Structure 1
Amino acid sequence: MKFKILNTSIVAMIVLSSSCDSFLDLDPISDATSTNAYNTASDAEAALVGVYDSFQAEYYIWDNIIFSDVMSDNHYAGGDNPEIFAIDNLDIEPVNGRLFNNWSQLFNAIFKANVVLDKVPMIEDPRIDLGNRRAQILGEAAFLRAYHYFQLVNLWGGVPIILTPTSSTNPEVTNVPRSSVEEVYNQIIEDLTFAIDDRLPYTYGSDASVNKARATRGAALALLAKVYAQKPNRDYAKVVEYADAVINSPAGYSLLNDFSHLFDGNHYNNAESIMEVQFVGGPEANFGPQLLLPPSISGDTWRKFVTPSRDLVNAFDEEGDIIRKNASILFESAPWADEFWSLQVNGNVPFAYKWKEANGWASTNRQYLLRLADIILLKAEALNELGRTQEALTELNMIRSRVNLPAVTTNNNDELKLLIEKERRLELVQEAQRWMDLKRYGRAVEVMNNLVEIDLRTNQPKDFNMAEHKLILPIPQQEMNRNPQLNQNPGYN
């Protein structure tokens, strides 16, 4: 990830790589990451770049989509990967390798943030305090740690809370027990509150490619809105408070008039974007589009992943949502058979289309980490839960009017709740939000067990066999083996 005000030439000094090594399988830190390596302002900036680089790990490129859109009613696995088929089938075992990869990548990202938070306060270089920069760096690192923990707690529930770096391989140090879900959320809120408290600015200047790449006060406020909506003991008043702070931010966030501009590849770092990964090509590119896009765009003919479901296509069609459907799904003749769309080779098959350019595994297409429409719909959801139905309708219809859909009206709280959920599905498809939404609404079991998707090979509906314990993932078996203090989530062997 490139930041115009950061020196990326010394990123090699970062404490941990984003490899698949477990955060519990630590080697002693090298000389390059020892305390005496953090002496200058440049050292601090380089370490921070390493934390941001974690957004280019496989989890944030496309596994977050697999563990949200593919797990849910939005997409099928597609492709040919047995582990992704298992995720699609809601038949995930602790030995599924994608669990270990994602767990490792997220904890490695947290460990890199921990190093910044631990070392930067001790740097004596006076340049680091110019323009309040030391405080900003610490705020950015705290936000990033919170963002990664938000992913972890939603995937696995309670996880170990690790807040300091360590050079020890002693099991007494590295074998950390799980904290409760409530404790993890409390830590996330503590980190975000710390980040906001006179540390993160609304902008870093006039350059959008910096302001949308970096943690800002707006990003922290947006994540707080999502946190208070998602945590078990929800606080809808806080959701409204933080959503309003984003909507009215001095950063000037606003919905784009043309929804398609969000995903056409030519309008990134736009006014609606709160934070996005800055894929710029070359070694800092997005390989995800090559895995999803059709042969006419990708240039290859092997079966692609993340295939839109019939239920998703029907949801767009039933709503008459042409604009968002065309921006999200592309139908094309596929040189393979698809068990849900066409058993005949060269049949018409839908492709996930919010990325538009593959560029031979080196796309500059992006996934939004946070964007305004999500926050507006969260505000609508919270207002409805607070009994402020008409205000909620105003927020919901703002999103609908952007894509030329008629305003909806109701005085029924439960009916409006479902309308907002549906709107979020159509607005945020392929943006790794659906599974969290279904869990938050308490509808994941109902939706998946009532989902009718016909396997054309058998002419029978697919049985997802959804159960409550599948709302969270099993702890990776490798971590269970390494750390006897970890207990497995209920319902998994």
Structure 2
Amino acid sequence: MTGILLGGAPACESFVDLDPISDLTADNAYKSANDAEAALVGVYESFQAEYYIWDNLVFSEILSDNYYAGGDNAEIFAVDNINITPTNSRLWNNWSQIYNAISKANVVLQKVPLITDPKLTDARKAQILGEAAFLRAYHYYQLVKLWGGVPLVLEPVNSLDPATTQKPKATEVEVYNQIVTDLMFALDNRLPDTYGGDASVNKARATKGAANALLAKAWAQRPDRDYNKVLQYADAVISSPASYSLLPTFTHLFDGTHYNNAESILEVQFTGGTEANWGPQMLLPPSLSGDTWRKFMTPSHDLVNAYDAEKDNVRKNTTILFENAPWADEFWSVSTGGSVPFAYRWKSANGWASTNRQYIFRLADIILLKAEALNELGRLEDAKTALNLVRKRVNLANTTANSKESMRTAILNERRLELAQEGQRWDDLRRFGVTAQVMGNLNEIDLRTNTRKDYSVKAHELFLPIPQSEINRNPNLVQNPGYN
């Protein structure tokens, strides 16, 4: 059972004791209330997949100006170099993991309405369907951000008929429309604001707050964005009866002892052991990881400079830890033993079994989205007020931005400093329309050759190539433009 739901059932013991639905035969599966709950657990379990622990950072943070690739994986260095080919195996890993999550949500949405067990109340059945619809929307949001238009699979695949298994791409807008449809279904008297007084349940489960947060982000990210809707759904989160609020102390968000806090809207409930996060081991320095191999994601000079330019020591020291490394680094020290920065928002490796978490949604992100929407709608002073809420928390003065354009730049920078290592940066650069400009202007020096590294981005590279193995399997699927 996945860590995101540990303790998250209406009756905790019913989740702990459930057999995986996959262990049941097709004839007797999906008959009881327990079957419904077990099937839902399977959907949440997808947050344990490699994409959600690690590759979401590779294809946002390393792909962007925030971090360099490290370690020894050639395919991750290809991401850093913006040289991603359709045969890069990480593409298929992510594509298949996300579609697997969607398939599990589809099963819940099809099978649970047919269950007649009186122990499954109408209210709980509606909640389960709302949770599954939210989760399907979230997974499609990952796909559409990465690849643009993708096939829409909305029912369980129980046939080998090519008409069922070989779907063409829906357009990017059509995928976003399906996301909105699923989220509106989830909100329609199905998802609650909270499940009661237990934060470890409320922050682990889909709620109205989570659905409204995803609606705000989807309406901002889609190509036909609507900032009135972004503002509407951001305000719904901010004014939620769940009473979300910024933590007074930024460092508490990531110190490992303040999870399920008032700022958190949804987070993965890693508890250690078999319910652990192995990501921190990939990032933390030898003093914290207990090993001496080169780490896979290193903060860039440009990110460090961004914190220093803003004199943002609170977020810098929470995000980046410098340590002398027992390896050479082409950007920081070509000599072994030089000072190298490490990604530090996860702080405990615990031998590949960390309890450190990723926030799926937190309030500061939504407040900054609100500021963005207000600015784009011509409400500069209101946008300043929202932005300054986030700045005040880390002891920064009010923004000096005094025009829509300068405010746009200020918001993008604030999102960078606030949300580094949270899988947001590439999406933000694309949404603001500045990816090529920002990446092309980077002045990152390879110390081995004392030359500036080229990070130029072509227009088609804003989206990933569809995995070649999927193109080969599905003749109706057309590769994204620009990739051979």
Same-fold status (TM-score > 0.5): yes
> Equivalent residue of 1:126, what SS?
coil
- How does 1:185-200 map onto structure 2 within 5 Å? 185-200=176-191
> Equivalent residue of 1:369, what SS?
strand
Structure 1 window deviating more from structure 2 (269-278 vs 402-411): it is 402-411
- Report if aligned partners of 2:307, 2:313 keep a CA contact under 8 Å in 1: yes
Of 193, 199, 215, the match for 1:202: 193
Matched, 1:104 2:104: no
**Equivalent position of 1:231 in the other structure:** 222
> Equivalent residue of 1:7, what SS?
helix
Matched, 1:10 2:18: yes
- How does 1:209-220 map onto structure 2 within 5 Å? 209-220=200-211
Deviation at 1:36, TM superposition (A): 3.5
**Equivalent position of 2:213 in the other structure:** 222
Equivalent-residue separation in structure 1 for 2:139 and 2:435 (angstroms) = 23
Equivalent-residue separation in structure 1 for 2:305 and 2:30 (angstroms) = 55
Of 253, 263, 271, the match for 1:272: 263
Structure 2: segments with no counterpart, 5+ residues? none
Equivalent-residue separation in structure 2 for 1:45 and 1:306 (angstroms) = 37
Amino acid at match of 1:94: P
**Equivalent position of 1:352 in the other structure:** 343
Matched, 1:248 2:239: yes
**Equivalent position of 2:58 in the other structure:** 66
Amino acid at match of 2:412: E
Equivalent-residue separation in structure 2 for 1:171 and 1:161 (angstroms) = 15
- Report if aligned partners of 2:8, 2:204 keep a CA contact under 8 Å in 1: no
Amino acid at match of 2:256: G
- Report if aligned partners of 1:11, 1:47 keep a CA contact under 8 Å in 2: no
> Equivalent residue of 1:274, what SS?
strand
- Report if aligned partners of 1:8, 1:46 keep a CA contact under 8 Å in 2: no
Matched, 1:117 2:125: no
Deviation at 1:33, TM superposition (A): 5.5
> Equivalent residue of 2:120, what SS?
helix
> Equivalent residue of 1:275, what SS?
strand
Structure 1: segments with no counterpart, 5+ residues? 15-30
Of 428, 447, 466, the match for 1:456: 447
Deviation at 1:169, TM superposition (A): 2.0
**Equivalent position of 2:407 in the other structure:** 416
**Equivalent position of 1:480 in the other structure:** 471
Equivalent-residue separation in structure 1 for 2:447 and 2:90 (angstroms) = 28
**Equivalent position of 2:83 in the other structure:** 91
Q: Deviations over 1:1-27 (max 9, x none)?
A: 22342524335214xxxxxxxxxxxxx
Q: Deviations over 1:71-121 (max 9, x none)?
A: 000000111100000000000000000000000000000000000000000
Residues 35 and 390 (structure 1), Cα distance of their counterparts in 2 relative to 1, 3 Å cut: farther
**Equivalent position of 1:50 in the other structure:** 42
- Report if aligned partners of 1:239, 1:382 keep a CA contact under 8 Å in 2: yes
Aligned length: 476
| TM-score scaled by length of structure 1 | 0.95
Equivalent-residue separation in structure 2 for 1:166 and 1:427 (angstroms) = 41
Matched, 1:430 2:421: yes
Of 80, 93, 99, the match for 2:72: 80
**Equivalent position of 2:120 in the other structure:** 128
Amino acid at match of 1:440: R
- Report if aligned partners of 2:227, 2:373 keep a CA contact under 8 Å in 1: yes
- Report if aligned partners of 2:31, 2:115 keep a CA contact under 8 Å in 1: yes
**Equivalent position of 1:19 in the other structure:** none
Deviation at 1:167, TM superposition (A): 1.7
> Equivalent residue of 1:10, what SS?
coil
- How does 1:136-151 map onto structure 2 within 5 Å? 136-151=127-142
> Equivalent residue of 1:268, what SS?
coil
| TM-score scaled by length of structure 2 | 0.97
Deviation at 1:458, TM superposition (A): 0.5
- Report if aligned partners of 1:285, 1:361 keep a CA contact under 8 Å in 2: yes
